[in-house]
Copies of this chain bind each other. A is one copy, B any other.
Amino acid sequence: MIKAMMKRTQEVLVVLVLALFYKAASMKPCSKPPQQLDGGDSCLSWRLAVEANNVRAWRTVPIQCLLYLETYMIGGQYERDVEFIVGEILSYVNGGIVLSEDGKDAWILDVDDTCLSNVLYYKGKRYGCDPYDPSGFRAWAMTGECPAIPAILGLFSKLVNSGFKVFLVTGRDEERLGQVTIENLHNQGFVDYERLILRTAAYKGQSAVAYKSAIRQQLVEEGYRIWGNVGDQWSDLQGDYLGNRTFKLPNPMYFVP
């Protein structure tokens, strides 16, 4: 109980320091949220609604939730949420999947904010309160220094070592970001995946749901059994050939249609 009270006090202090910082900084106006939000508890409602796919096609994080979201993303709860889901995935993997000897047991992982974290980049975009900036994001991706999300790297290694074929499927543009994405994955420890599939010219302009469904269909037609499919966007987990189980990782910073 004392520990919990200390923790609460610590949280309040973190929020206080952040509040002073943001008060001092000049704040640009942000997009008007569809609903009035008044801080912590209502931002938790917003985040829950985002993760349950009740809020769709949102362009920016409501400005009132900036401090809440910063605390969520870098204060430990985001990591705890990811680790909990990885625990669920491992329960499922260890709960009776029998791998065949044909080498066709597959998993699909998304890349951005699934394998590799963009939180450092989004910190500079006020955790999604600023609108999407395609060239800014491309410059970040071009550095090849997106860090691994530790729990997902652990999951990845476990899947590969268990004999699953892991396919990394990303909406990143193959021509411009293919080489740097390979290097980034490798320098973060994502090696021995079966295939990295990036968006080629043929899929340019398609929605993530259509593009990723088409890729999964090809894998199924090649004979792969998709046991699981992990992504931070609902558009990774909707459409066709979804796989036996899907797992939604948290991402309250941006929405990919």
Q: Is the pair A81, B49 in contact by a Cβ cutoff of 8 Å?
A: yes
Inside 8 A of A248's CB, which chain B residues have their CB?
Answer: 52-54
- How far apart are A67's CB and chain B's nearest CB, in angstroms? 10
Give the docked Cα–Cα distance between A81 and B55 (Å): 12
A179 at interface by CB-CB < 8 Å = no
User: What's the least CB distance linking A233 to chain B, in Å?
Assistant: 12
Bound state CA distance, A15 and B248, in angstroms? 30
A41 to B80, CA, bound (A): 8
User: Which of the 9-residue segments A4-12, A96-104, A156-164, A196-204 touches chain B?
Assistant: A4-12
Residues 199-249 of A contacting B (Cβ, < 8 Å): 245-248
The copy count of this chain in the complex is 2
Q: How far is the CA of A183 from the CA of B101 in the complex (A)?
A: 59
Interface size class of A (residues with CB under 8 A): 35 or more
Residue A250 interfacial (CB < 8 Å): yes
Cα distance, A246 to B56, chains bound together (Å): 11
Shortest C-beta distance, A37 to chain B (Å), equals 9
- The verdict on A85 contacting chain B, using a C-beta distance below 8 Å, is yes
Residue A91 lies at the interface, judged by CB distance under 8 Å to chain B: yes
| Chain B residues within 8 Å of A83, by CB | 45
- Across the interface, name the chain B residue whose C-beta is closest to A8: B8
Which B residues are CB-close (under 8 A) to A91?
A: 34-35
CB distance from A129 to the nearest CB of B (A): 18
Q: Mark A39-74, 1 if CB is under 8 A from B, else 0.
A: 111101110110111111000000000000000000
Given A54-B88, A84-B46, the answer on whether A41 and B76 have CB atoms closer than 8 Å is: yes
Q: Are A42's CB and B84's CB within 8 A?
A: yes
B85 and A49: CB pair below 8 A? yes
Also in contact, A88 and B48, with CB within 8 A (given A4-B40, A8-B8): no
- A40-B3 Cα distance, complex, nearest whole Å: 12
Q: Is the CB of B5 within 8 A of A81?
A: no
Q: B1, A81: Cβ atoms under 8 Å? A: no
Per CB-CB distance, the 6 closest pairs between chain A and chain B, nearest first, are A45-B84, A35-B87, A52-B248, A51-B52, A45-B81, A8-B8
Complex A-B: 27 CB contacts under 8 Å: A1-B19, A4-B40, A5-B12, A8-B8, A8-B11, A34-B88, A35-B87, A41-B76, A41-B77, A41-B80, A42-B80, A44-B77, A44-B80, A44-B81, A45-B81, A48-B48, A48-B51, A48-B84, A48-B250, A49-B85, A51-B51, A52-B52, A52-B250, A53-B246, A54-B85, A54-B248, A55-B88
